[in-house]
Structure 1
Amino acid sequence: MKDNEHFDPTPLSLLPDAQFLAATPLSGGLTNRCWKLSLYHPSTQSSADYVWRPLTQSAYMFGVNRQHEYQLLQAIAESGIAPKSYSLLPPSSSMNEQVLIVEWLEGKQAADDVSDTQLCQLQAQIHALPLPEHRLEVKQRLSFYWQHIPEQFKSIQLVAIHHYFQAQSFPQYFSDTCCHFDLGRYNIIVPCEHQSIAQGEQPRLTVIDWEYAAAGNPSLDLAMTIIANDLDLERAVTDYCRARLQHDDTFVVNFEHWVEAVNAWQPWCEYLALLWYLVGYQVWEDEEYFYQANRLEQKLASLVN
């Protein structure tokens, strides 16, 4: 299944004070394919760049909801940690998908120039943002992915793993916070060298791709971040707790409790990733997705054998 590789500017006629200039496909998106969009604004006689984020069939299969993403970005607009939303276009006669348009952030994708400690500080900053209206219901998301996986991929072992998790209770730890649920360096933008930064200041980091963000357990979000970035668990928890104290006056540090919580969530993270990769293999027909899904299945097999 492939998303449309051609850009149709017709829906942009719904936008006031905006004339279409150009659109360029963006590489690197795993959930769906987005476009860099250039618009001219007659009222200011200036042009600006944006990101066109459609709700394609593939994005839907990953559980994406552009309305939720738009609401969250609106709620955290003043934080400076995320791109500002520009418009949410409804489905129309020429476009059967909802489209979120957000500002384009100048900069480059983070790499080693963002330390593990900075990652955990960003995580703590996100957890201090206003609580989103919608919540990630983990078992509901697991069931949703399961329904979109072809039967030929559901081996006896995978079915046993699925039943195992369906029968488990969630780790009960901390109150909900705003969670990103995909905080990898690939979703962090660092200012380019030519962008002005005051002497002695740290570069301002911004986080993109809030399509999975929701209210949820912060220790689950931290567990996902640790896995996605291959962080040392105890060091990450230490850095996170120190940073959280700076953003939340009510936060009480209980290091052992956080380590226990993150450890408890890790198998759930791995199972979510396993099903996500199987959905991704069906969508993109990329053998790497199938390889990663099989690797995780073999790792989780110890839970049922």
Structure 2
Amino acid sequence: MQGFPWWCLEHLGEDAKWAVEDIGAHLSNRTWLVTEKKSCAMRAAAQKYLVKQLQHGEEFARSNKAVITLERYIAEKGLGPRVVFVSEDHSVIIYEHIEQPLAIALESQTARVEKLAEALARIHQLTPETNRIGVRQQLEQYCHALAYYNEQEAERLREDIASYHDLFAQCEQQPQVFCHNDLSMDHVFLTPDLKIIDWEYAGYSHPGMDLAMTVVMNDLYDEEIACLLDSYNERAEHRVLREELPDWIRVVALINRVWFKLQEAVTQEATADEENPVDELLA
């Protein structure tokens, strides 16, 4: 299994044998499912874990060590899977394996949207100690990273960002709450307790930003958006109004545009490195 940190398995039990399956390769991380090898009769009792290795933290203006600290905090609060082992030096986290993602656990789309609203309300009550980087500053950091690969594209995006000055001012207004910023239904589980994964892009912002990102991530329609807002406002300390949402969605669209440009540049660089390994370049 190419790229898998085999050394981490020693922290799961000295005598156990493991099967490793690559289940996700993204720019921000790689993830593997690790299953204990058992006889057919004992297979139901086999232990399962997820091994995640964070990557490209610097390019995406993110501290991998800070993400690991946050993941531990979320687990301690009961809102994330149990953390079994971490290595800050290698940016590796091992979690308990959880099943029943939201799309499978609930058949009704309305029930799923209401559960998303509950998840958002609970996330916004958290108060982890983490760097408070505003949306404007985050985008500037993305552009700084992009300039390493494509200075002209970075400069064009900086001009776009400057034109959003008034909207950024709204983002920086109170209230400021802790946001997930990547809450798709694939990241929400019912075990039956609510569990949420993938906190790499979490941080403090206006709650309207997190709601707008959730609308976009899950491709919600008018009735579903109304359901999300109504259900959220019933639970949350700070209400978000429907008429405010278009402005938040505009900011989300800009964030995604800048992020995808950076992702494209990093991907092209990584692909070029794979096609031209160091040994060949030095030959």
TM-score normalized by the length of structure 1:
0.68
Distance 1:204 1:28, change over 3 A: farther
Residues paired across the two proteins, number? 250
User: Does 2:13 align with 1:24?
Assistant: no
Distance 1:190 1:179, change over 3 A: same
Distance 1:20 1:276, change over 3 A: farther
Aligned residue in 1 for 2:100: 107
Deviation larger for 149-158 or 65-74? 149-158
Distance 1:23 1:64, change over 3 A: farther
After TM superposition, list the pairs within 5 Å mapping 1:174-185 onto structure 2: 174-185=174-185
Distance 1:151 1:69, change over 3 A: closer
Aligned residue in 1 for 2:231: 239
Aligned residue in 1 for 2:204: 215
| Offset at residue 164 of structure 1 (A) | 2.0
Q: For structure 2, which runs of at least 5 residues remain unmatched after alignment?
A: 38-44, 269-283
After TM superposition, list the pairs within 5 Å mapping 1:158-169 onto structure 2: 158-165=157-164, 169=168
Distance 1:68 1:47, change over 3 A: farther
Secondary structure of residue in 2 paired with 1:100: strand
User: Does 2:217 align with 1:228?
Assistant: yes
Determine what percentage of the aligned residue pairs are the same residue.
Answer: 24
The answer on whether the counterparts of 1:55 and 1:64 sit within 8 Å (CA) in structure 2 is: no
The answer on whether the counterparts of 1:70 and 1:85 sit within 8 Å (CA) in structure 2 is: no
Q: Matches of 2:125 and 2:155 in 1, distance apart?
A: 42
1:13-54 deviation line (CA, Å, top 9, x unaligned): 5x48555623211137463321123469xxxxx863222221
Q: Matches of 1:237 and 1:104 in 2, distance apart?
A: 31
Q: Matches of 2:5 and 2:97 in 1, distance apart?
A: 19
Greater per-residue helix proportion: 2
After TM superposition, list the pairs within 5 Å mapping 1:56-67 onto structure 2: 56-57=55-56, 59-67=57-65
The answer on whether the counterparts of 1:181 and 1:212 sit within 8 Å (CA) in structure 2 is: yes
The answer on whether the counterparts of 1:183 and 1:225 sit within 8 Å (CA) in structure 2 is: yes
Aligned residue in 1 for 2:169: 170
1:56-92 deviation line (CA, Å, top 9, x unaligned): 23x542334332223223323354331122222132x
RMSD over equivalenced CA pairs, Å: 3.2
Q: What is the aligned counterpart of 1:272 among 242, 255, 268?
A: 255
Aligned residue in 2 for 1:122: 119
Q: Matches of 2:209 and 2:33 in 1, distance apart?
A: 32
The answer on whether the counterparts of 2:133 and 2:204 sit within 8 Å (CA) in structure 1 is: yes
Deviation larger for 68-77 or 152-161? 152-161
Aligned residue in 1 for 2:266: 283
Q: Matches of 1:155 and 1:51 in 2, distance apart?
A: 36
User: Does 2:94 align with 1:71?
Assistant: no
Secondary structure of residue in 1 paired with 2:5: coil
1:151-207 deviation line (CA, Å, top 9, x unaligned): 27618854531332468642044323221110111212355xxxxxxxxxxx54422
Q: For structure 1, which runs of at least 5 residues remain unmatched after alignment?
A: 41-45, 92-96, 192-202, 245-250, 286-305
Distance 1:216 1:152, change over 3 A: closer
- Counterpart amino acid of 1:280? Q
- Counterpart amino acid of 1:218? P
TM-score normalized by the length of structure 2:
0.73
The answer on whether the counterparts of 2:32 and 2:51 sit within 8 Å (CA) in structure 1 is: yes
